[in-house]
Chains A and B, each alone.
Chain A
Amino acid sequence: MSGFRELWRILRRNPSAMLGFGIIVFYLLMASIGPLFVHVSNIENPLAAYEPASWAHLLGTDYAGRDTLAEIVDGSTPVLIVAVIASTFSVVIGVIIGLVAGFLGGVGDNILMRIADIFLTIPSLPLVIVIVTFIQSSSPFVLAAVIAVTGWAGLSRSVRAQALSLAKRDFVEAAQVQGLSLYNILIRQLLPNIGSYVAMNFLLGISGAIYAEVGLFLLGIAPFTASNWGVMLNFAINQAGSIYTSQSMLYLFSPMVAIVLLQVGFVLFTRALDQLFNPRLRTQ
C-alpha cells in the first residue's frame, strides 16, 4: 500500500503525470458509466449531416445526422474493454512463461525464451491481421486474445530475468529452507518484486492494444458489432467520404482527438511510473 502513497507523492509533484493519470481516470469513467447518459440514434437523417457544434450537439453531427459526442462516448466502451482484456491476457501469459522459464532453467528455459525471441522478432501487426482475417469473430475476447498473442514476449523476458536474480537471493533460499511451498514463494516473495514490471507492461499493453485494435477497425479488417472510434474513422474515410469535405472536420477529428488524448494520457502516466520504479531517474 505504500506503493500507492508513493505514487500519489510523485503525482502531486509532477503535473504532467497528474494530467496523464486524470486523463486515464476520465476515460475509464466515460467507458464505464458514460453510455448510460448518451443515446446514439438509429435514425439516419442525411439532411442533418455534418452540423457544426451547438448546445444540442456539442461535437456536431456525423454523416447521418447523429450526435458525434454520443458516438464517441458510446464507442469508448468497446475500445477500452478489448484493450484491457488484451493487456490482461498478455500480462498473465508473460508472467507465467517468465516464471516457469526462470524456475525451470535448463532446456525448458531455453525453449521458452527461444519462443519469446521469435515473437519479439516477428512484426506483430501483420500476424494479428492474418489471424483476425481467418478467425472472423466479433467477440471482444477473441480479438483481445489475438492481440495478446503477440504482446507477452517482452514481459516474459524481464520476469524471467527478475526470477533468476531473485532465486539467487537470500530470502528465497531462506523461504525454501523454512519449507515454504513453491506456491508460497511465488506469491509472497516473487510477485511483489515483479509488480513494477507487471504494472508498466499492463499500461503499455493497453496503449499498444488500442493502437492495434483501432487500426484494425479503421482498415475494416476486424468484424464489429458495436460502433467504436476505429469504426467511426473507417466510415468517415471509406464509406462517407468525410475526408474530402471540409464541413466534416469536427466529425472526422473527434475520434482522432479521443484516441490521441488517451494515448498521451498513457504515455505521461507510464513515464511517472517509470520514475517511481527506477528511482535513479528521479534525481536526474
Chain B
Amino acid sequence: MAYIARRFGVSLFIIYVVITISFFLIRLMPGNAVDFLYFQLLASHTVSPQQALQQVQSLYGVNMKEPLLLQYVQYIWNMIHGSLGNSILYPGTSVLHILMNALPWTILIVSTSLIISFFIGISIGTLIAYFRKSKFAVLVSTIMTVLSAIPNYIVAIILLYLLADIHHIFPTGGAYSPEVAPGWNIPFLFSVARHAALPVIVFIITQVGGWSLGMKSSVVSALGEEYITSAHSHGIGSRRIIQSYVGRNAILPLVTSLGLSIGFMVGGSVFIETLFNYPGIGFFLITAVNGRDYPLMMGAFIIVTSAVVLANFLTDLINQRLDPRTMQK
C-alpha cells in the first residue's frame, strides 16, 4: 500500500512539473504567448488596454499585471481545477470541453491497439523463441525487425493512399458517422469501430514487431532458468511449462516496458490522428499548433501528458500484481 501511495505521489508530482513547464512556456519564454496576444490586441487599436487584459485573462487564466509568482500560483490553481482557459479557434468553447470530448477517442485507439499488438506480439515472440533454429522463425524474426523499424506515420500514409479510393469501407475522418446516434446501440458502435479501424491497424503493424522481438529474447533467457529444468524434472507437461513457467516469467520485463510504450504511442497518435482526421487529443494538439491556439495547445499538452503519467502508474500496479517480488519494495 505504501508503495502504491508513493508511486501515486510521484505521478502527481510529475503532473505538477508538466504544468510548471507549461506555465514557463506560455508566460516566461521571450516573445511568449501571453505577451504576444496582449500586444497584438493593443496594436489592433480595437480594444482598450483594460479590455485587452481581460481578454488575455479569459484565454489564459492569468492576470498579466500581477506579480509572476502570483500568476504561477493562479495558473496551477486553474489547471488542477480543470480551468484550461478558452479556445481561440473555437470561440466561446472551453478548452476542457473540447479535450474531454477528444480524450476518450485517443484512449480508445491507443488502448485497443496496445492490447491487440501486445497479445499478438507475445504469441509470435514465444513461437519464434521456441523454434529459433528453424528457417521459418528466422524469417518471421526478420519481418518483425523490419516492421519495428517503420515509422507509424509512413504506414498511415500508405494505408491512406491505398484506401483512398475505397474509403467507404474505412472512412478517413471523424470518430463516428454523423448519421448514427451516439449511445450503446449497434449502428453507433459499428461506426466507431469502422472509424477507429485504420488508426488501430497502423499502431498494431508498427508495435507488433517490438513486442515480438522483446518477447523472443525474454523467452530465450527464461528457457535457460533453473526452474524450467526443475519443472521438467517433476514431469510437468510442456503446455503448462510454456504457459505458467516460461510465459508467465518472460512477460514481466515486457509489462515493465508497457509504460514507455504507452508514452510512445500517445506521441505517435499525434501523427496518426492528424493523418486520419481522427478527433483525438493529438488531432487537436496539431490543429491548435497550426491555428496558433495556444490555450488549446497547452491544454492538450497537459491532458495528454497527465494521461500518460497516470497510465504509467496503472502499468506499475499491473506489474506489481504480476511479480510478487515487487510487493515488498
Contact = CB atoms under 8 A, between A and B. Distances in A.
Q: Do A and B bind each other?
A: yes
Interface of A: 16, 117-118, 120-127, 129-131, 133-135, 207, 211, 214-215, 218-221, 233, 237, 243-244, 249, 252, 256, 259-260, 263-264, 266-268, 271, 281, 284
Contacts, number: 119
B260 A126 contact: no
B260 A259 contact: no
B266 A267 contact: no
A237 B157 contact: yes
Given A121-B14, A284-B132, A127 B301 contact: yes
A121 B29 contact: no
B85 to A, nearest CB: 15
B145 interface: yes
16 contacts: A122-B18, A123-B267, A124-B263, A125-B270, A126-B270, A126-B282, A129-B286, A134-B32, A207-B149, A211-B151, A221-B290, A263-B151, A264-B145, A264-B149, A267-B148, A267-B149
A165 B161 CA distance: 52
Interface string B209-222: 00000000100100
Contact of B164 (A125, A244, A256): A244
Given A215-B271, A219-B274, A121 B297 contact: no
B271 A121 contact: no
B290 A220 contact: yes
Given A130-B297, A133-B297, A260-B154, A123 B17 contact: no
A121 B309 contact: yes
A256 B157 contact: yes
Given A120-B260, A121-B259, A130-B22, 11 more contacts: A117-B14, A118-B17, A122-B308, A123-B308, A126-B267, A129-B289, A134-B26, A219-B270, A220-B290, A256-B154, A260-B154
Contacts of B161: 243, 249, 252
A123 B259 CA distance: 10
Contacts of A117: 10, 14
Contacts of A129: 270, 285-286, 289, 301
B251 interface: no
A126 B271 contact: no
B142 interface: yes
Given A129-B289, A131-B25, A134-B25, A218 B153 contact: yes
Contact of B149 (A118, A127, A233, A263): A263
B268 interface: yes
B3 interface: no
Contacts of A263: 149-151
B29 A134 contact: yes
Interface string B36-71: 000000000000000000000000000000000000
B78 interface: no
Interface in B255-269: 259-260, 263-264, 266-268
B301 A260 contact: no
Main secondary structure of the interface of A (DSSP, over half): helix
Contacts of A123: 263-264, 266-267, 304-305, 308
B25 A124 contact: no
A214 B151 contact: yes
B121 to A, nearest CB: 16
Contacts of B289: 129, 133, 219, 221
A184 B157 CA distance: 52
B164 A243 contact: yes
Contacts of A237: 157, 160, 275
Contacts of A121: 14, 259, 263, 308-309, 312
Nearest to B17: A118
B109 interface: no
Most chain B Cβ neighbours within 10 Å, of A120, A124, A127, A130: A130
B158 interface: yes
B127 to A, nearest CB: 16
A-B pairs, top 8 by smallest CB distance, nearest first, are: A125-B267, A123-B263, A267-B149, A263-B149, A264-B149, A123-B267, A123-B308, A130-B301
Given A122-B18, A215-B153, A259-B151, A134 B290 contact: no
A250 to B, nearest CB: 12
Nearest to A271: B145
Interface in B235-283: 259-260, 263-264, 266-268, 270-271, 274-275, 282
A192 B69 CA distance: 46
B304 A252 contact: no
A284 B224 CA distance: 10
A252 B157 contact: yes
